[in-house]
């Protein structure tokens, strides 16, 4: 098998979004790598088996794997992925340099993974550096017959697709971020009394009880995370009125359903332990008061920014007050909304900041 690829390298180092490197160069290299993988998948069934196996390990909870550590892994014919790529000659060396310079590069099968037998050749798409859920409507792809075209970014295809992109759940070195704990929250260990159905008065639970994120429901998943990026990363940041963060510091709880359809127009049970709600300072724990705030967004790769937000809240005395807060997110995150949460909100009340609804309970 012979591969001929022409790739002009203008820089010796390529890094991820948010850093001063030409996006056009990155996209050129990404397309070249996608073209190589497309040819390899069409001519080498062992490569398809390899992709099926590695994406099925779900190292970060999604159906994907990082390319840099996978270079040393062996395919069914006994050759490593690195050896396969080196068969492309000088272009192969350039592609290896591209992979090693971008530890977040991944191959993913974000939809219909279970429907793929690991034998047939999948379309290979790639997510360019300028991809934005708010403005991008198509994704470039190479199909099984070798032709190039586009798939809709807004309507998920009814068949599995392989996607070359940057991983959203690792840091710039390709290390899994500690903030990503599927179905978990922060704040400590509770007393294991998780009877959500106990709605005896008061309906909202007692002072000092644990607050839980019960379940979430995505009204329009494509509005915040297109199919090409797999399952969403829904982030909940809780703040006191003095702008201090609750649970896990600034990053709050990040929820990652195993599949997109687990959360798409259906309730997904989370049962994440959030924080203990004392209204007044107790045993050295700073009181939260009669209300706090929740900011909800969908996490993506990008440059960290401080986002100022203002929320109007009703005080116990009945007055309306505007509270100014700041949250740290990335410039590519999809902001869902911010709203106040009151101590006396009944358990299982449905909150709707927009696009994503959620329920909580306290006991």
Secondary structure (DSSP) of 222-274: GGTS-GGG-S--EEEEEE-TTS-EESTGGG-EEE--SSGGGTBTSEEEEEEEE
Q: In this structure, are residues 132 and 330 in contact, taking their beta carbons and an 8 Å threshold?
A: no
Cβ count near 78 (within 10 Å)? 8
Cα 323 from Cα 267, distance rounded (Å): 31
Each residue's pLDDT tens digit, 145-192: 989 999 999 999 999 999 999 998 898 899 987 755 433 333 333 333
Helix ranges restricted to H, the chain: 23-43, 45-56, 67-70, 81-86, 90-101
By the 8 A CB rule, do 257 and 268 touch? yes
pLDDT recorded at residue 316: 76
Tell me if 235 sits within 8 A of 253, measured CB to CB.
yes
Across the strands, what pairs with 216?
268, 358
Instruction: Provide Rg for the chain, Cα atoms.
Output: 23
Q: Is 180 helix (H, G, I), strand (E, B) or coil?
A: strand
* In the predicted structure, residue 227 carries a pLDDT above the cut 50: yes
Lowest-confidence range among 182-186, 231-235, 284-288, 344-348?
182-186
Report the mean per-residue pLDDT for the chain: 86
Residue 350 bridge partners (DSSP): 359
What pLDDT score does 331 carry? 87
CB atoms within 10 A of CB 128: 17
Give which of 183, 200, 260, 250 is closest to 228, Cα–Cα: 260
In this structure, are residues 345 and 356 in contact, taking their beta carbons and an 8 Å threshold?
A: no
Q: Cβ distance 234 to 355 under 8 Å? A: no
The strand pairing partners of 213, in sequence order, are 272, 360
What is the structure's pLDDT at 4?
A: 39
- Of 28-37, 293-302, 322-331, give the range with the top mean pLDDT: 28-37
Neighbouring C-beta atoms of residue 62, cutoff 10 Å = 27
More confidently predicted of 211 and 187: 211
């Amino acid at each position: 098998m012979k591969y001929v690829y022409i790739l002009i390298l203008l820089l010796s180092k390529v890094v991820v979004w948010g850093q001063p490197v030409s996006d056009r160069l990155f996209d050129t290299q990404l397309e070249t790598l996608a073209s190589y993988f497309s040819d390899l998948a069409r001519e080498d069934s062992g490569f398809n088996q390899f992709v099926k196996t590695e994406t099925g390990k779900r190292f970060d909870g999604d159906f994907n794997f990082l390319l840099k550590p996978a270079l040393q892994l062996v395919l069914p014919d006994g050759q490593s992925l690195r050896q396969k790529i080196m068969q492309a000659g000088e272009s192969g060396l350039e592609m290896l340099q591209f992979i090693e310079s971008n530890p977040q590069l991944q191959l993913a099968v974000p939809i219909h993974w279970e429907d793929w037998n690991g034998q047939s050749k999948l379309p290979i798409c790639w997510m360019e550096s300028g991809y934005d859920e708010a403005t991008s409507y198509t994704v470039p792809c190479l199909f099984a017959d070798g032709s190039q075209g586009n798939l809709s970014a807004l309507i998920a295809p009814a068949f599995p697709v392989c996607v070359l992109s940057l991983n959203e759940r690792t840091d710039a070195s390709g290390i899994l971020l500690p903030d990503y704990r599927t179905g978990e929250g922060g704040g400590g260990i509770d007393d294991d009394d998780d009877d959500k159905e106990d709605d005896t008065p008061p309906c909202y639970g007692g002072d000092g009880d644990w607050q839980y994120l019960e379940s979430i429901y995505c009204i329009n998943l494509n509005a915040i995370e297109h199919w090409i990026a797999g399952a969403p990363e829904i982030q909940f940041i809780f703040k006191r009125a003095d702008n201090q963060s609750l649970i896990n510091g600034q990053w709050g709880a990040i929820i990652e359903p195993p599949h997109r359809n687990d959360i798409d127009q259906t309730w997904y049970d989370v049962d994440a332990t959030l924080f203990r709600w004392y209204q007044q300072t107790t045993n050295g724990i700073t009181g939260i008061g009669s209300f706090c705030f929740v900011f909800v967004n969908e996490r993506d790769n990008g440059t960290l920014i401080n986002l100022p937000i203002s929320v109007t809240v009703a005080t116990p005395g009945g007055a309306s007050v505007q509270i100014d807060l700041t949250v740290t997110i990335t410039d590519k995150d999809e902001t869902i909304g911010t709203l106040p949460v009151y101590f006396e909100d009944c358990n299982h009340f449905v909150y709707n900041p927009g696009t994503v609804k959620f329920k909580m309970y306290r006991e």
